Amino acid sequence: MREFWNRHTRESPYWNPYTETMPREQLRQMQFKRVNLLLEYAYARSPLYRRVYRNAGMEPGDITSWDDFVERVPLLDKKDLLEAQAEHPPFGACQAAPLEHYFYLFQTSGSTGMPMMTPFSFYAAAQNGDQWAHALWGIGMRQTDSAYFAFNWGTFSGFWAAYWGCRRLGATVYSGGGLDTRQRIRQILELRPTVLLSTPTYALYMAEVARDLGVDLAGSSIRLSFHAGEPGVNIPATREAIESAWGCTAHECYGVAEAGSLAAGCPTPGMIHIVEDFSTSVVLDENGRQVGDGEVGENITTCFNNYLHPIIKYRTHDLVRPRYDRCACGRTSLRFEGGVLGRTDHMIIIKGTNVYPSAIEALMGKVPGLTEHFEIHVDREQRNDTVLVKVEAAPRQQAGAYAKLRDSFARLLHESIKVRIGVEVLPPQSLPRYELKAKRLFDHRPKEHRWQVDQQRTA
């Protein structure tokens, strides 16, 4: 025990060295106890889970091993939670405790128009913060740091949990809530925070506004940036754009609004670790089978800390590439190589080859003369998906050079991805700019042609 406490010093790379470096077999046993408790609890308290498990002919007592959990417990999807909420608003059949235990409430807008409500107890909020503390510590933030929240404190859960994480860590918090971008830039220059928390799109937007004001943020006090709310930081061109604009190291925290901040904290760029004290992931292929090391599948998450609103084997629709062995950083926790590779709905199949939008995004910025401003358009012609990448040329490029730039990028795409992808080069400022979240993927295919996990498995 003394050895453990000696390891947990300010110099330790791990927030919780005990669980972060625990042999996987031992970690599995710890998680299986939590899974069992959660299944029993949800079955007893949540009408939704009771109904789903009864329909699948399963009771919590039937789940006696980890394999049972992976193979027999049915999947749950966002539509199940939304339907259950619509039955008895606001929380419906998902609710697993009386209202007096509610501490605060988040909601996500969702593309269907109906907001998804996620209540938190005090316990869940504190645990969510601890989840972030693992991540913040893992990227090198310490008690002596100060965090600037370029965030409006709305109903998006991610940065609220990050706030609790900073509190847990003991760092200083500066709020940029209620201010516009210019005021936030001024505050950063005056207060000299060392860590920036924002969406990646907003970090780039702030940098553009600062440039117009004649402010060089690369010389500011920010040394680390931590981004949530949308993927992007694992795209090298985006990460490099943030890092050079801010003179900092940029990291991603991968989270799912309903389940919390799931993964972050590896010093290797593009690698994220599941914080397995708080959630567990299984990664399934389209037939509902667990994928092997390095193969791509959908992340199915189970969250151990929200007992008001249980999340068990929940479909995130995020495509990931799991690695099961010990990481170079020493962590034994499950890690996803390349972060989130895309959404299951957006998997592209060209002549039998799976193409992830992230594989295209990873090549942005590799052709000199082209910028990181791009859009990917996916469509369906006859039996194949087709892709057209629209990308802006750099301001100094002459229009006469566009055809050559287009051919170089198309060649690079073909060499790297092994399928033909269309390219269109546009003049600077042709594509829209976004303040909070960028829209880069436009999927024009009919819904029935999109990748699906076998629906039978989703009960």
Total residue length of the chain:
459
How many residues interact with Zn ion (rule CB under 5 A)?
A: 4
Choose one: 71-79, 98-106, 319-327, 427-435; the region binding Zn ion (CB under 5 A). 319-327
Judged by beta carbon, residue 327 or residue 341, the one nearer Zn ion is 327
Asked if residue 252 lies in contact with residue 228, where contact means CB atoms within 8 angstroms, the answer is: yes
Choose one: 175-183, 325-333, 349-357, 374-382; the region binding Zn ion (CB under 5 A). 325-333
Half-sphere CA count of 139, side-chain side, radius 13 A: 30
Q: How far is the CB of 119 from Zn ion (least distance, A)?
A: 33
Helical segments of 110-180, H only: 122-138, 157-169
Choose one: 85-93, 237-245, 260-268, 377-385; the region binding Zn ion (CB under 5 A). 260-268
Q: How far apart are CA 108 and CA 314, in angstroms?
A: 16
What residue type is assigned to position 397 of the chain? Answer: Q
Q: How far is the CB of 64 from Zn ion (least distance, A)?
A: 32
Q: Of the candidates 58, 133, 135, 327, which one interacts with Zn ion according to CB under 5 A?
A: 327
Q: How far is the CB of 333 from Zn ion (least distance, A)?
A: 8
Q: How far is the CB of 408 from Zn ion (least distance, A)?
A: 34
Judged by beta carbon, residue 277 or residue 443, the one nearer Zn ion is 277
Judged by beta carbon, residue 239 or residue 406, the one nearer Zn ion is 239
272: contact with Zn ion by CB under 5 A = no
Q: Of the candidates 52, 266, 282, 360, which one interacts with Zn ion according to CB under 5 A?
A: 266
Judged by beta carbon, residue 162 or residue 266, the one nearer Zn ion is 266
Burial class (CB in 10 A: 0-12, 13-18, 19+), 51: middle
Q: How far apart are CA 58 and CA 38, in angstroms?
A: 15
Q: How far apart are CA 318 and CA 282, in angstroms?
A: 12
Show the tokens assigned to 160: 């609220």
Judged by beta carbon, residue 25 or residue 325, the one nearer Zn ion is 325
Q: How far is the CB of 331 from Zn ion (least distance, A)?
A: 5
* Nearest Cα to Cα of residue 174 among 157, 152, 150, 158: 150
329: contact with Zn ion by CB under 5 A = yes
Q: What track of x and - describes contact with Zn ion for positions 198 through 237 (by CB under 5 A)? A: ----------------------------------------
275: contact with Zn ion by CB under 5 A = no
Show the tokens assigned to 359: 């594989």
Q: How far apart are CA 129 and CA 124, in angstroms?
A: 9
Judged by beta carbon, residue 139 or residue 327, the one nearer Zn ion is 327
Q: How far is the CB of 273 from Zn ion (least distance, A)?
A: 6
Q: How far apart are CA 319 and CA 245, in angstroms?
A: 29
Distances (CA, A) of 133 to 31, 140, 195: 20, 11, 14
Q: How far is the CB of 265 from Zn ion (least distance, A)?
A: 7
Q: How far is the CB of 330 from Zn ion (least distance, A)?
A: 7
Residue bearing tokens 């034994």: 332
**3-state secondary structure (DSSP) of residue 20:** helix
* Nearest Cα to Cα of residue 235 among 390, 336, 340: 340
Q: How far is the CB of 137 from Zn ion (least distance, A)?
A: 13
Judged by beta carbon, residue 274 or residue 425, the one nearer Zn ion is 274
DSSP 3-state percent helix, strand, coil across the chain (nearest 5): 35, 25, 40
Choose one: 246-254, 266-274, 361-369, 436-444; the region binding Zn ion (CB under 5 A). 266-274
Interaction site with Zn ion (CB under 5 A): 266, 327, 329, 331
